[in-house]
Protein backbone atom coordinates (compact mmCIF):
# COMPACT_ATOMS: atom_id res chain seq x y z
CA UNK A 1 0.00 0.00 0.00
CA UNK A 2 2.87 2.42 0.68
CA UNK A 3 4.20 1.83 -2.82
CA UNK A 4 0.93 2.93 -4.36
CA UNK A 5 1.01 6.13 -2.28
CA UNK A 6 4.58 7.02 -3.27
CA UNK A 7 4.12 6.45 -7.01
CA UNK A 8 1.61 9.30 -7.60
CA UNK A 9 3.86 11.58 -5.55
CA UNK A 10 6.87 10.80 -7.80
CA UNK A 11 4.81 11.34 -10.92
CA UNK A 12 3.66 14.69 -9.60
CA UNK A 13 7.19 15.78 -8.79
CA UNK A 14 8.36 14.76 -12.30
CA UNK A 15 5.59 16.76 -13.92
CA UNK A 16 6.35 19.75 -11.71
CA UNK A 17 10.06 19.58 -12.55
CA UNK A 18 9.28 19.47 -16.27
CA UNK A 19 6.95 22.41 -15.86
CA UNK A 20 9.62 24.39 -13.99
CA UNK A 21 12.16 23.64 -16.72
CA UNK A 22 9.79 24.97 -19.38
CA UNK A 23 9.19 28.07 -17.27
CA UNK A 24 12.94 28.80 -17.13
CA UNK A 25 12.86 30.54 -20.51
CA UNK A 26 10.42 32.19 -22.88
CA UNK A 27 12.22 31.48 -26.15
CA UNK A 28 15.40 30.01 -27.54
CA UNK A 29 17.62 30.56 -30.52
CA UNK A 30 21.21 30.69 -31.77
CA UNK A 31 23.90 33.32 -31.54
CA UNK A 32 25.05 35.17 -34.63
CA UNK A 33 27.12 38.21 -35.53
CA UNK A 34 27.66 40.50 -38.48
CA UNK A 35 30.15 38.61 -40.63
CA UNK A 36 32.24 40.49 -43.19
CA UNK A 37 33.86 38.68 -46.10
CA UNK A 38 36.98 40.60 -47.13
CA UNK A 39 37.77 40.20 -50.83
CA UNK A 40 40.75 41.15 -52.97
CA UNK A 41 40.54 44.53 -54.69
CA UNK A 42 43.38 43.77 -57.11
CA UNK A 43 44.53 40.86 -59.22
CA UNK A 44 47.94 39.27 -58.89
CA UNK A 45 50.16 37.15 -56.68
CA UNK A 46 49.68 37.37 -52.91
CA UNK A 47 53.18 38.46 -51.94
CA UNK A 48 52.21 38.69 -48.28
CA UNK A 49 49.11 37.51 -46.41
CA UNK A 50 49.45 37.40 -42.63
CA UNK A 51 46.04 36.10 -41.57
CA UNK A 52 45.17 32.94 -39.65
CA UNK A 53 41.87 31.72 -38.30
CA UNK A 54 41.35 33.00 -34.77
CA UNK A 55 43.49 36.11 -35.24
CA UNK A 56 42.21 39.30 -33.70
CA UNK A 57 42.56 42.18 -36.15
CA UNK A 58 41.96 45.88 -35.71
CA UNK A 59 40.26 48.06 -38.31
CA UNK A 60 42.66 49.71 -40.75
CA UNK A 61 45.48 47.22 -40.19
CA UNK A 62 47.46 46.20 -43.30
CA UNK A 63 47.66 42.41 -43.37
CA UNK A 64 49.22 41.78 -46.78
CA UNK A 65 49.63 42.98 -50.34
CA UNK A 66 49.22 41.88 -53.94
CA UNK A 67 52.11 42.12 -56.42
CA UNK A 68 52.09 45.67 -57.85
CA UNK A 69 55.26 45.67 -60.00
CA UNK A 70 53.51 46.36 -63.31
CA UNK A 71 51.42 49.14 -61.79
CA UNK A 72 54.60 50.74 -60.45
CA UNK A 73 56.15 50.70 -63.94
CA UNK A 74 52.97 52.21 -65.38
CA UNK A 75 53.16 55.00 -62.82
CA UNK A 76 56.78 55.78 -63.75
CA UNK A 77 55.88 55.90 -67.44
CA UNK A 78 52.99 58.28 -66.81
CA UNK A 79 55.20 60.55 -64.73
CA UNK A 80 57.68 60.77 -67.58
CA UNK A 81 54.88 61.49 -70.07
CA UNK A 82 53.56 64.27 -67.89
CA UNK A 83 57.05 65.74 -67.50
CA UNK A 84 57.55 65.75 -71.30
CA UNK A 85 54.18 67.42 -71.87
CA UNK A 86 54.83 70.17 -69.34
CA UNK A 87 58.31 70.75 -70.79
CA UNK A 88 56.72 71.48 -74.18
CA UNK A 89 54.71 74.44 -72.92
CA UNK A 90 55.88 77.68 -74.61
CA UNK A 91 57.37 80.61 -72.75
CA UNK A 92 54.78 83.19 -73.74
CA UNK A 93 56.69 86.20 -72.40
CA UNK A 94 59.93 85.46 -74.26
CA UNK A 95 58.13 84.78 -77.55
CA UNK A 96 56.16 88.02 -77.55
CA UNK A 97 58.97 90.25 -76.24
CA UNK A 98 60.31 91.01 -79.75
CA UNK A 99 56.92 92.06 -81.10
CA UNK A 100 56.20 94.11 -77.99
CA UNK A 101 59.50 95.98 -78.44
CA UNK A 102 58.61 96.79 -82.05
CA UNK A 103 55.28 98.14 -80.87
CA UNK A 104 56.98 100.26 -78.20
CA UNK A 105 59.43 101.68 -80.80
CA UNK A 106 56.64 102.37 -83.25
CA UNK A 107 54.71 104.26 -80.55
CA UNK A 108 57.76 106.47 -80.05
CA UNK A 109 58.01 107.03 -83.83
CA UNK A 110 54.32 107.90 -83.95
CA UNK A 111 54.71 110.54 -81.26
CA UNK A 112 57.67 112.04 -83.10
CA UNK A 113 55.85 112.13 -86.44
CA UNK A 114 52.77 113.68 -84.84
CA UNK A 115 54.94 116.50 -83.51
CA UNK A 116 56.53 116.98 -86.90
CA UNK A 117 53.13 117.09 -88.59
CA UNK A 118 52.02 119.79 -86.20
CA UNK A 119 55.12 121.82 -87.18
CA UNK A 120 54.44 121.18 -90.88
CA UNK A 121 57.76 119.33 -91.11
CA UNK A 122 56.30 115.88 -91.82
CA UNK A 123 53.38 114.93 -94.02
CA UNK A 124 50.12 113.26 -93.04
CA UNK A 125 51.08 110.26 -95.17
CA UNK A 126 54.11 109.66 -92.97
CA UNK A 127 51.84 109.61 -89.91
CA UNK A 128 49.39 107.27 -91.63
CA UNK A 129 52.24 104.89 -92.47
CA UNK A 130 53.33 104.83 -88.84
CA UNK A 131 49.75 104.15 -87.64
CA UNK A 132 49.39 101.38 -90.21
CA UNK A 133 52.62 99.77 -89.06
CA UNK A 134 51.47 100.04 -85.43
CA UNK A 135 48.12 98.38 -86.22
CA UNK A 136 49.89 95.47 -88.00
CA UNK A 137 52.23 94.93 -85.08
CA UNK A 138 49.35 95.03 -82.55
CA UNK A 139 47.38 92.49 -84.60
CA UNK A 140 50.47 90.33 -84.85
CA UNK A 141 50.91 90.49 -81.06
CA UNK A 142 47.29 89.51 -80.45
CA UNK A 143 47.62 86.57 -82.85
CA UNK A 144 50.80 85.43 -81.14
CA UNK A 145 49.17 85.59 -77.69
CA UNK A 146 46.13 83.65 -78.90
CA UNK A 147 48.25 80.94 -80.53
CA UNK A 148 50.55 80.57 -77.54
CA UNK A 149 47.62 80.50 -75.08
CA UNK A 150 45.89 77.82 -77.17
CA UNK A 151 49.06 75.77 -77.29
CA UNK A 152 49.57 76.15 -73.55
CA UNK A 153 45.94 75.25 -72.82
CA UNK A 154 46.17 72.13 -75.01
CA UNK A 155 49.32 70.95 -73.26
CA UNK A 156 47.78 71.68 -69.85
CA UNK A 157 44.73 69.57 -70.81
CA UNK A 158 47.02 66.73 -71.88
CA UNK A 159 48.86 67.01 -68.58
CA UNK A 160 45.55 66.93 -66.70
CA UNK A 161 44.53 63.78 -68.58
CA UNK A 162 47.80 62.11 -67.56
CA UNK A 163 47.18 63.30 -63.97
CA UNK A 164 43.82 61.50 -64.00
CA UNK A 165 45.54 58.34 -65.22
CA UNK A 166 48.10 58.73 -62.45
CA UNK A 167 45.28 59.02 -59.89
CA UNK A 168 43.77 55.81 -61.24
CA UNK A 169 47.10 53.99 -60.94
CA UNK A 170 47.60 55.39 -57.43
CA UNK A 171 44.17 54.07 -56.46
CA UNK A 172 45.03 50.65 -57.92
CA UNK A 173 48.34 50.64 -56.04
CA UNK A 174 46.49 51.51 -52.84
CA UNK A 175 44.09 48.62 -53.41
CA UNK A 176 47.04 46.24 -53.77
CA UNK A 177 47.54 46.68 -50.02
CA UNK A 178 45.06 44.42 -48.19
CA UNK A 179 43.62 46.47 -45.34
CA UNK A 180 41.34 44.95 -42.73
CA UNK A 181 38.07 46.96 -42.75
CA UNK A 182 36.55 46.08 -39.34
CA UNK A 183 37.80 45.05 -35.92
CA UNK A 184 37.09 41.47 -35.02
CA UNK A 185 38.20 37.84 -35.05
CA UNK A 186 39.06 35.97 -38.23
CA UNK A 187 36.54 33.14 -38.64
CA UNK A 188 37.71 31.56 -41.91
CA UNK A 189 40.53 32.08 -44.41
CA UNK A 190 40.15 31.34 -48.12
CA UNK A 191 43.65 32.12 -49.43
CA UNK A 192 47.33 31.54 -48.70
CA UNK A 193 50.52 33.50 -49.44
CA UNK A 194 51.99 33.08 -52.96
CA UNK A 195 48.61 32.16 -54.44
CA UNK A 196 47.30 34.16 -57.39
CA UNK A 197 44.16 36.06 -56.53
CA UNK A 198 41.71 38.06 -58.62
CA UNK A 199 39.63 41.13 -57.96
CA UNK A 200 36.57 40.19 -55.91
CA UNK A 201 37.92 36.83 -54.75
CA UNK A 202 37.22 36.23 -51.00
CA UNK A 203 40.31 36.21 -48.82
CA UNK A 204 38.91 35.76 -45.30
CA UNK A 205 35.82 36.18 -43.14
CA UNK A 206 35.85 38.33 -39.99
CA UNK A 207 33.29 39.21 -37.32
CA UNK A 208 33.24 41.45 -34.28
CA UNK A 209 32.48 39.09 -31.39
CA UNK A 210 32.72 41.66 -28.60
CA UNK A 211 28.93 41.66 -28.76
CA UNK A 212 26.72 39.06 -30.43
CA UNK A 213 23.07 38.70 -31.32
CA UNK A 214 20.78 35.97 -30.08
CA UNK A 215 18.13 35.38 -32.73
CA UNK A 216 15.12 33.84 -31.04
CA UNK A 217 11.47 33.34 -31.94
CA UNK A 218 8.45 34.33 -29.88
CA UNK A 219 4.76 33.60 -30.27
CA UNK A 220 2.10 36.24 -30.76
CA UNK A 221 0.92 36.13 -27.15
CA UNK A 222 4.47 36.87 -25.98
CA UNK A 223 4.70 40.08 -28.02
CA UNK A 224 3.33 42.12 -25.11
CA UNK A 225 6.58 41.39 -23.25
CA UNK A 226 8.84 42.20 -26.18
CA UNK A 227 9.72 45.79 -27.09
CA UNK A 228 12.79 47.25 -28.75
CA UNK A 229 15.13 48.63 -26.10
CA UNK A 230 13.84 46.34 -23.32
CA UNK A 231 16.31 44.30 -21.35
CA UNK A 232 16.20 40.51 -21.33
CA UNK A 233 17.94 37.71 -19.46
CA UNK A 234 19.95 35.42 -21.73
CA UNK A 235 20.96 31.94 -20.55
CA UNK A 236 23.74 29.88 -22.12
CA UNK A 237 24.42 26.24 -21.26
CA UNK A 238 27.52 25.98 -19.08
CA UNK A 239 27.65 22.24 -18.39
CA UNK A 240 25.16 19.76 -16.98
CA UNK A 241 22.17 21.57 -15.47
CA UNK A 242 24.18 24.79 -15.28
CA UNK A 243 23.65 28.06 -17.10
CA UNK A 244 25.70 31.20 -17.52
CA UNK A 245 23.57 34.31 -17.40
CA UNK A 246 24.03 37.41 -19.59
CA UNK A 247 22.13 40.67 -19.82
CA UNK A 248 20.82 41.53 -23.25
CA UNK A 249 18.94 44.31 -24.99
CA UNK A 250 16.22 43.69 -27.55
CA UNK A 251 17.54 45.33 -30.71
CA UNK A 252 15.25 44.14 -33.49
CA UNK A 253 11.78 42.63 -33.90
CA UNK A 254 10.56 41.28 -37.21
CA UNK A 255 7.37 43.03 -38.28
CA UNK A 256 6.17 39.91 -40.10
CA UNK A 257 5.41 36.50 -38.67
CA UNK A 258 6.87 33.31 -40.10
CA UNK A 259 6.52 29.57 -39.62
CA UNK A 260 8.47 28.16 -36.70
CA UNK A 261 11.93 26.93 -37.86
CA UNK A 262 12.33 23.19 -37.24
CA UNK A 263 15.50 23.67 -35.20
CA UNK A 264 13.96 26.26 -32.86
CA UNK A 265 11.83 25.52 -29.83
CA UNK A 266 9.27 27.92 -28.48
CA UNK A 267 7.54 27.95 -25.15
CA UNK A 268 4.33 26.98 -26.89
CA UNK A 269 5.28 24.05 -29.13
CA UNK A 270 1.87 24.23 -30.83
CA UNK A 271 2.58 27.65 -32.29
CA UNK A 272 2.90 27.67 -36.06
CA UNK A 273 3.57 31.36 -36.62
CA UNK A 274 6.27 33.16 -34.65
CA UNK A 275 8.16 36.47 -34.72
CA UNK A 276 11.94 36.67 -34.90
CA UNK A 277 13.69 38.92 -32.40
CA UNK A 278 17.36 39.79 -31.98
CA UNK A 279 18.88 40.42 -28.57
CA UNK A 280 22.27 42.11 -28.32
CA UNK A 281 24.54 40.50 -25.70
CA UNK A 282 27.95 41.70 -24.59
CA UNK A 283 30.33 38.79 -25.06
CA UNK A 284 33.13 38.03 -22.62
CA UNK A 285 34.55 35.42 -24.98
CA UNK A 286 32.41 32.56 -23.71
CA UNK A 287 29.71 32.78 -26.39
CA UNK A 288 30.55 31.25 -29.76
CA UNK A 289 28.67 31.71 -33.00
CA UNK A 290 26.05 29.03 -33.54
CA UNK A 291 25.66 28.24 -29.82
CA UNK A 292 22.13 27.85 -28.49
CA UNK A 293 20.81 30.35 -25.99
CA UNK A 294 17.61 30.81 -24.07
CA UNK A 295 15.95 34.09 -23.20
CA UNK A 296 13.69 35.21 -20.42
CA UNK A 297 11.80 38.46 -21.02
List, for residues 196-222, the tens digit of each pLDDT value. 999 999 999 999 999 999 999 988 888
> Could you tell me where the beta strands, DSSP code E, fall in the chain?
27-32, 35-39, 44-49, 56-57, 62-66, 177-179, 184-189, 196-197, 202-207, 211-218, 231-237, 243-253, 258-259, 273-282, 292-296
For residue 188, list its beta bridge partners.
205
Q: Check the CA dihedral 87-89-92-95 and report its sign.
A: positive
Chain segment 113-172, per-residue pLDDT in tens: 888 888 888 888 888 888 999 999 999 999 999 999 999 999 999 999 999 999 999 999
Q: What pLDDT was estimated at residue 93?
A: 87
Is the pLDDT at 235 greater than 70? The verdict is yes
Query: CA–CA separation, 286 vs 284, rounded Å?
Result: 6
The mean per-residue pLDDT over the stretch 228-234 comes to 94
- What pTM was estimated for this model as a whole? 0.70
Which residue would you say has higher pLDDT here, 54 or 239?
Answer: 54
Q: How far apart are CA 221 and CA 233, in angstroms?
A: 19
pLDDT band at residue 6 under the 50/70/90 scheme: very low
What would you report as the CA-atom Rg of the chain, rounded to the nearest whole angstrom? 42
Amino acid sequence: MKTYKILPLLIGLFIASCSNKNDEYDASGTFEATETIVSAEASGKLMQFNVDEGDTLSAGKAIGYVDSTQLHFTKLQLLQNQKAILAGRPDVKSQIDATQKQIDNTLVDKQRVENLVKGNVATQKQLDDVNSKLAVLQAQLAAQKSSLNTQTSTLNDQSSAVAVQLSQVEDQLKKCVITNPVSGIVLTTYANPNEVTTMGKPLYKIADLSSVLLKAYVTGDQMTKVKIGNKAKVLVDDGKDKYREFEGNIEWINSKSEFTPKTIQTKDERANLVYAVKIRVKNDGFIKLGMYGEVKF
